Chain A
Amino acid sequence: MRGRRGGGRLRRKLESFRAGLGAMARRAGRQRRAAGGGSAALPSLPSFEDEADEAPEEVSFDVARAAAETERKIAGEAARRHRELLKEKRRRREELFKEQKRKKLLPEAVLQELAAAPPGRQSEVTHAADQDEHPEDGPARQSEGHVPGQLKKDKPKGTRSKGNYMAVHLKDQSLTGLHQQTAKDFLYTHLYGAGTNRTHANEFFSLENKKNPVKKAAVQFVDKSWGLEEKQKAMKFKKCWLAAKMKSLV
């Protein structure tokens, strides 16, 4: 059943191939005629011409031009339509994103509430938090006349300060963290980045072992974490093989 269907497909393919060749030959003939009314067909392709043996239809130059023009026009229109479609799609997606962003934001009421909170108090809270974070840089901050104990008392007791959280001024910390990260990245790229010619420990030490007069176990067996995937694959294969074996025995 299967074999027969496959054969059918093959035959169909062959036919289409032949048809394609025929078309090619026809086009070639037309060109030749346009060039100066050539007489003889190509000697190498006669056997395929047998289906379209009759003479090609006569087409005048004007008609052909008109046909080509309309064809071009149609193609242009299709491209324009396609572009418009894409534009529309993009616009719709942008709208969707805007909508999503709006959904993610806090509700309007909360935002208004935050904006309405007294600004002086907020800065004090951040200050207190700062002092808690850096107990050792006391002198610089204490000169401003804040006493941590007092500050804790006048934490805003607004509508939303019930939860056990504290506002912290993150700006300075994140800045030093960022600097440190860029410094570490610099170090990493120059020691281990592209062009530093690093190799894997396994390769490095195996090379040593290769030259060694006393051969030891390959390094990849030293670290148990290496080749885990291969080991698991091998285990799976073994299980499958065993199962197959058992089945065949039964």
Chain B
Amino acid sequence: MGEFEVHRVRFFSYVPAGVRCLAYHRRTDRLALARTDGAVEVYNFAANYFQEKAIPGHEARTVEALCWAAGDRLFGAGLGGDVSEYDLERLRVKRSVDGFGGPIWSMAANAGGTRLAIGCEDGSVKLFHVVPDGVQFERNLDRQQGRVLCLSWHPSETHIAAGSVDLLRVLDVGSGRTVQRIMVNYHVQKSKKRECVVWSVAFLSSGTVVSSDSFGRLQFWDWERGTLLESHTVSTSAVLSLAVSEKEDSIVVGTSAGATYQFQLLPVKMGSQDKHWVRTKPFQHHTHDVRAVAHSPTALISGGLDAQLVIRPLMEKMQKKGYEAALRKFTFPHRRLVSCARKARLLLFQFSQHLELWKLGSTDESGKDGEVLPVCRAPEHLVQLKSKGPEHIYCSCVSPCGSWIAYSTASRFHLYRAQYEGDSVSIKKVANVPKLLLPAYQLQCSADSGSLFVASDQGSVHVLQLLEPGGCKHLHTLRPPSGTPEAVYLLASSADGNWLAAASGDWEIHLYSLKRFKHHCTVPTYSCAVTALAIHPVTNNLVIAYSDQQLFEFSIPEKQYTAWSRTVQNSGLHKAWLERDSPITHIAFNPKNPSHILLHDVYMFCVLDKSLPLPDDSASLMNQSALKQLPETARKRQLHAFKICKKFQPLLFADLLDENCLVMVERPIMDIKTQLPPPIQQKKFGT
């Protein structure tokens, strides 16, 4: 594997925001997710659950409800009182319309996706038409006291069920009248009466209204008679969310204590027609409140305030036991939040509204393999850059020499020049930054720190020249010849400054020559999302990692895949490699060892040695510890190309500083959990 001196960095105090709502889109097999800080993400299940799009949040824009409508358009509404449509190509809010009903608690689209209903703070339910350029107000339904916390359309689109405090209403869409009022709290004794919040509601096609409330009950009501059909006490804490499968034979509920339960409609006796809802499977994947659940045809999806997205495939829906049926958990974004100035040994951490610049510590001692060396100079927090305004940061970067720092928000691009004199740092904002089309989706400095590449929308990349002492000039804009509506989200530049690779949202990779500012060629399209890109400093080969864990090597000068890449494709990668569930987020190279490629995902760090044979499925992929115990001669025979280290977890960033020095940025899960809001107390027997 090679020996490295490793900087084990644990001072990146990143805390991901909790999951607030989920919306699953059956036709495109995508999941939209909104976080409590207003960020919206889209996961593509077909591309191995890759987080395809991420729209950073906004201080004043909380999202309480998301829904897909009119094909694959995504709408969101929140306590700000606006209904907004998201532009998934340019990753921002396309347009928003005031609901004029105060904060919006809930939103639901009808089965056809042509109308949206919103539930407001003032107790009104409003209907909006989805029109080609946004949404248009249609009418108000009967307004009553009490905020409307949840909504659900009847599949026939004639009625809407609305839940508020202590109360459930059924509204007729045609007349706009309330046709049924159900007091959820009716059966509770007067002396014990507390407010009962109906957190979530679903309207089944049989005319049954399902409600979940703060008393921990899941209840089934006959809406025409207003009577209780069934009541299940799920938990002692509140049941915050529920979702029904498309066939209406399964319900998933999420509770405040972090548990999720599946209910299934099952016959009481074998072969009988009489069916009842039965609680079948409990899951405890979260430690905090599960405020959002979704039900895909084959899986239960839950998102908690502990920032985890959990996808639990249902075994009975799977053809065979295997990788497809494995549980998926996502806590960290599938993007890079850390950038590294290799020469200056600096790390730049990106938070939602600020940046932190740290200087790595150092040691003057050396030791054997596995030893922890004492630090003679502690890591130093140099600068904290706070972004002004309510918008969150899209991307950031620091130049390899450490003297330029750039970041972009939705409407502003900032460039700073940092100067280091001894121990002090001075930071100066570069005035007169060229006016670009914002936001920038990715920033990348060239290896000589002379130019900055700004990824922009419609597949274009701006090239800025960085001028000493603190200036910049727009040189050129690179555009793909065919044109694309999607934004560029990954960039890679070559060490000699000749080539630039850009991957856009339609998964195309374009290569540009920076000498002539011309489009050079396009990498053959692959049917999966690109997760990481890098150009080899010596051979100028482009290494591409895709979300289905495939690796490709493309020779830029020859405009074709390299021989090694072809052999990899012919023999196939190891099964254990293909079954990892987090994408590779960064690729680096060792200039001393041109055959080495350094890759990492959240759970492992890998040195890929192209000179060694590929492992076949019978060999073990993670064989480093086994190799250590073998004698030298036997070791030679067992060696294969993948040298994997799982010591550092969860790994947010790894890079090579110089030939035998690595930096690993870890973020222990426990550190995050202690920063989260308080969880529900759970009684454990025997403690």
Contact = CB atoms under 8 A, between A and B. Distances in A.
A151 interface: no
A197 B237 contact: yes
B673 interface: yes
A211 B678 contact: no
A204 B147 contact: no
Given A183-B79, A183-B147, A200 B678 contact: yes
Given A192-B677, A219-B670, A223-B671, A207 B684 contact: yes
A191 B236 CA distance: 13
Contacts of A107: none
Interface string A194-234: 01111111111101001100000001001100100000000
B520 to A, nearest CB: 41
A180 B679 contact: no
Given A176-B102, A183-B147, A223 B674 contact: yes
B570 interface: no
Interface string A23-60: 00000000000000000000000000000000000000
Contacts of A197: 236-237, 680-681
Contacts of B687: 207, 210-211
Interface in B46-88: 79-81
B193 to A, nearest CB: 13
B105 A183 contact: yes
B102 A183 contact: yes
A223 B682 CA distance: 21
Contacts of A205: 287, 670, 673-674
B5 interface: no
B194 A195 contact: yes
A190 interface: yes
Contacts of A237: none
A171 to B, nearest CB: 15
Q: Per DSSP, are chain B's interface residues mostly helix, strand or loop, or mixed?
A: loop
Nearest to A188: B677
A204 B287 contact: yes
B684 A211 contact: yes
Interface in B653-687: 668, 670-671, 673-682, 684, 686-687
A59 B590 CA distance: 115
A228 B687 CA distance: 27
A179 interface: yes
Given A198-B680, A199-B679, A184 B673 contact: no
Contacts of B676: 201
A179 B99 CA distance: 13
Nearest to A201: B674
B214 interface: yes
Contacts of B671: 222-223
B666 to A, nearest CB: 13
Contact of B670 (A192, A198, A210, A222): A222
26 contacts: A137-B98, A179-B81, A179-B102, A179-B103, A179-B121, A183-B103, A183-B147, A184-B79, A186-B147, A190-B197, A190-B214, A190-B238, A192-B677, A197-B236, A197-B237, A198-B679, A199-B678, A199-B681, A204-B681, A205-B287, A205-B673, A207-B682, A207-B684, A211-B686, A219-B670, A222-B668
Interface of B: 79-81, 98, 102-103, 105, 121, 147, 194-195, 197, 214, 236-238, 256, 287, 289, 668, 670-671, 673-682, 684, 686-687
Interface of A: 137, 176, 179-180, 182-184, 186, 190-192, 195-205, 207, 210-211, 219, 222-223, 226
Which 8 residue pairs spanning A and B have beta carbons closest together?
Answer: A199-B681, A183-B103, A198-B678, A223-B674, A179-B102, A204-B679, A201-B674, A180-B79
Given A180-B103, A198-B680, 20 more contacts: A176-B102, A179-B81, A179-B121, A183-B102, A183-B121, A183-B147, A186-B147, A191-B238, A198-B679, A199-B678, A199-B679, A201-B676, A204-B287, A205-B674, A207-B682, A210-B687, A211-B684, A219-B674, A222-B671, A223-B671
